[in-house]
Structure 1
Amino acid sequence: MEVIVDRCAGLDVHKKTVVAAVRSPGTGRRKRDTVVRTFSTFDADLVELRVWLTELGVTQVAMEATGVFWKPVWQVLDEGAFEEMLLVNPQHVKNVPGRKTDVNDATWIAQLLECGLLRGSFVPPVEFRQLREITRYRRQLTEERGREVQRLQKLLEDANVKLSAVVSDTTGVTARMILEALCDGERDPEVLAGMAQRKLKAKKDLLARAVPGRFGDFHAVMCRQILNHIDYLDRAVTDLDEQIDRLVSPFAEARDRIDTIPGIARRNAEIIVAEIGVDMSRFPTPGHLASWAGLCPGNNESAGKHRSTKTRHGSPWLTSALVEAAWSAVRTKDCYLKVRFWRIAKRRGEQRALIAIAHTILVICWHLLAEETTYTELGTDYLAGRDQPEHRRKQLVNQLERLGYQVELTAA
């Protein structure tokens, strides 16, 4: 194949070592030369790798996205003067079976790179990589808090404390006061019910019947540990919120634009900004962004037959944030997204409709960031105005006929 890049390097990255293969113009009958060296992944050795590649005149570097091991290598090489660095999907650089070694893998990557056959993945700038890490960790802690609350409810059911049947939040003010008293040894139902606050004062009789159940010393020890863990997670999430506010402040305008979309709250907007960035020049069209995120239908056709069109795997953090926003938008009154959801759900089911709304929200995000504008609500009648009258009439008639009616239309 035609060589496009004169001097390039392919890296096979592992936890302890990096195998680098450099391809360059050969001498004599050899059209291309290959030089291979192995480096340790300690920082000083990675700097030596960068210097060595620079001395050989390498202009482009490619490596596989291997877990988290590629990150320190990328950070060190990113400080060099290379024209382009590519982080490629391992599925895109699979070699032919047989004779698999680290040297062969690095050489194969370099050969694909010199022929221009590799496509780099999206690697955001360092400030967005940091924002990604902290928003993902905050979400993990939030989910862990939810699991702790479920463990607390399971423990209370084991003790036959029916607190969740009376209060809506077992970690709310009234429930927390009652649980603290139970852990301290209080067992008088009237005293426990007397701790009711605000609206729960009208449910003192139910509270007195719900507690103390069979709450014993064992349950007190377990309950105390769970409550302490919930408090720790609350403090940790609060601290992370402060750090995220500091990191996202340079991109606050973009976050606020995304926050105008129905269904998206401030914290979800921060996750979206962290995952896709604010520079949409990386994605020429909304379709490119949706494809990268794994929220567009697949395309699998062979011999005239269309096979599965399920979405492929994308960023789970971005997908979960968009799906959560889609559920919120579906429950929003007088919202275009809600009408679109139910129109699709009637034909394709609610799960497919939900992914379609998540895709629509991502497309809206692209337009808001690329055009530097805010969301404009289209209204509930927008889709009805775009319907073709004849098509709509046939559709409604077919629905009535399937229900067993004979339909005769008379113009009004």
Structure 2
Amino acid sequence: MSVPRGSTSCKRDAKVAVRKPGKRKGTYRTEVKTFGATTSQIHELIGYLNAENVSFIVMETTSDYWKPYYFLMKEEQLPVILVNAKRERNIPGRKTGVNAATWLAELAAHNLLAASFIPPEPIRHLRDLTRARSAVAHDRTKVYQRLEKFLESSGIKLSSVASSLTGVSSRHMLDALVAGERDPQVLADLSIRKMRRKIPELIDALEGRFTEHHASAVQLHLHHIDTLDEQLQILNQMITEAMQSFDQACQALGTMPGIGEQTAQLIIAEIGVDMNVFADAAHLASWAGVCPGQNESAGRQRSSHTRGGNVYLRAALGTAALAAIKHKDSFLATRFRRLYLRRGGSRALVAVEHTIIGAIWHLLASGEVFKELGPDYYDQRCQR
């Protein structure tokens, strides 16, 4: 079964190829039909597959359009697996929906396809929430960037003095500007804590041509930010409730350097807590996309890149790695510094991500907590 990739018809229908024995022994014929994507039409498809007594169903991933087909078939307990469309399309000439469906049936008949990882329902629900939180946080950052650019047109250079517009002091000044205050001295005096050391710089930065037009636009941006903040609070509460079943795993991940509560939640939402779905830590690292690429020809290793992997998991691992290398007296920071000298910062950071995901697999598989090897681990190993 195949949903055509790269086409608007993905939303409307799917091409289904059923491979049947031919009239002569050892031959096969393929029957291709088209079914719609609505729930009633998918039930019609399920009835057709049951009538044909199919023994195995293969479906390729295409955006999110595979989900209604897959989950309804799972509810009906059909033998369906999901495969990566990129892997089965390496051979050219089979790019249309009909050809792809026929090709899938042939590959499945020869057992040449590996099933994709589909987490259980509680993990899928948690994943929906964590990804929604990431999207809202990204939108919030984009709004702050638009606000910063808009302030440039009014001559207000607050972002050149304050490290971020997200701070409490910056918000007090922006609210005062919207309320009608224009005196730079009064605005700068609204700063608190460490920002008060920068009052002379703030006075210069807050002197501009801020008009009522600018006030109205800034108010809209701030209202948008407040709305996104409320959504983040709601999502955080929903994620906390959904994480209650995985509290032990979350605490185990929290013992690792660089992994905070939100990072641990995101990692669990992407890979789950059952490590039996991954053969070992190396398979999980490869699935996550933090393994070095392999490009060898005639015995010579050529430059290659890491695969794409799970973008949400990669982002979480990158955040964890950047935070971990700041712990100077840790094994991960030492590993980064050693590799940085020979391989550069980017490759050293990917190596730290690889180490982190490997440790995560062992933590979740064994239920143990992280054991810090220490910054002198390599020195001790050389002395053995």
| TM-score normalised by the chain length of structure 1 | 0.85
Instruction: Label 1:101 to 1:152 Cα distance change in 2 as closer, same or farther (>3 A).
Output: closer
Which of 54, 59, 76 is the matching residue for 1:63?
59
Q: Which amino acid aligns with 2:166?
A: T
Q: Can you list the C-alpha shifts for 1:40-90, whole angstroms capped at 9, x where unaligned?
A: 11101111211221232222110111111111111111112334x221222
Residue 66 (structure 2) pairs with residue 75 (structure 1): no
Tell me how far apart the structure 1 counterparts of residues 123 and 161 of structure 2 sit (CA, whole Å). 44
Q: Secondary structure at the match of 1:123?
A: coil
Tell me if the contact between 2:94 and 2:103 (Cα under 8 Å) persists in the aligned partners.
Answer: no
Q: 1:164 to 1:38 in 2, by over 3 A?
A: closer
Equivalent position of 1:374 in the other structure? 369
Partner in structure 1 of residue 182 of structure 2 = 187
SS at match of 1:37: strand
Whichever residue aligns with residue 44 of structure 1, its letter is: S
> For residues 127-142 of structure 1, what are the structure 2 equivalents within 5 Å?
127-142=122-137
Q: Which residue of 2 aligns with 1:11?
A: 2
Q: Distance in 2 between matches of 1:292 and 1:65?
A: 16
Shift of 1:165: 4.5
1:24 maps onto 2:20 in alignment:
yes
Distance of 1:97 and 1:273 partners within structure 2: 37
Looking at structure 2, the residues matched to 99 and 285 of structure 1 have their Cα atoms a distance apart, in angstroms, of 34
TM-superposed deviation, 1:126: 2.5
Task: Work out the CA distance in 2 between the residues paired with 1:89 and 1:195.
Answer: 55
Contact in 1 for aligned 2:94/2:100 (Cα 8 Å): no
In the aligned structure 1, how far is the partner of 2:154 from the partner of 2:160?
A: 14
Partners of 1:213 and 1:137 lie apart in 2 by: 38
Q: Is the 8 A contact 2:60 2:84 kept in 1?
A: yes
Structure 2 counterpart of 1:144, which letter?
D
Which residue does 2:147 correspond to in 1? 152
Aligned-residue Cα RMSD (Å) equals: 2.2
Amino acid at match of 1:11: S
Q: 1:182, 1:212 within 8 Å by CA — same for their partners in 2?
A: no
Percent identity at matched positions? 43
Match of residue 319 from structure 2: 324
Q: Offset of 1:206 from its aligned partner?
A: 4.5
1:28 Cα shift? 5.0
Higher CA-based Rg: 1
Structure 1 residues 100 and 278, CA gap change in structure 2 (3 angstroms):
closer
After TM superposition, the structure 1 = structure 2 runs for residues 111-126 of structure 1, keeping only pairs within 5 Å, are 111-126=106-121
SS of the equivalent of 1:86 reads strand
Give the alignment partner of residue 222 of structure 2, picking from 224, 227, 231: 227
Offset, 1:139: 1.1
Residue 387 of structure 1 aligns to a residue in which SS?
A: helix
- For residue 58 of structure 2, give the secondary structure of its aligned residue in structure 1: strand
Counterparts of 1:110 and 1:104, CA distance in 2: 10
Residue of structure 2 in register with 1:392 after alignment: none
Aligned: 1:361 with 2:352: no
Structure 2: gaps spanning 5 or more residues: 5-9
Q: How many residue pairs were aligned?
A: 379
Q: Relative to structure 2, which stretch is displaced further, 317-326 or 193-202? A: 193-202
Supply the distance in 2 between the matched residues of 1:326 and 1:251 (Cα, whole angstroms).
Answer: 23
Q: Which AA in structure 2 matches 1:40?
A: G
Deviation at 1:382, TM superposition (A): 0.9
Contact 1:11 1:106 in 2 (8 A): yes
TM-score (normalizing by structure 2): 0.91
Match of 1:243 in 2: 238
User: How big is the shift at 1:284?
Assistant: 0.9
Q: Which moved more, 1:201-210 or 1:188-197?
A: 201-210
**Secondary structure of the structure 1 residue equivalent to 2:14:** strand
Q: Which among 31, 35, 48 is matched to residue 39 of structure 1?
A: 35
With 207-216 and 321-330 compared, the bigger mean Cα shift is at 207-216
Partner Cα distance (1:173, 1:282) in 2: 45
Q: 2: CA distance between counterparts of 1:249 and 1:358?
A: 26
How far residue 376 of structure 1 moved from its aligned partner, in angstroms, is 0.9
Instruction: Tell me whether 21-30 or 377-386 shows the greater mean CA deviation.
Output: 21-30
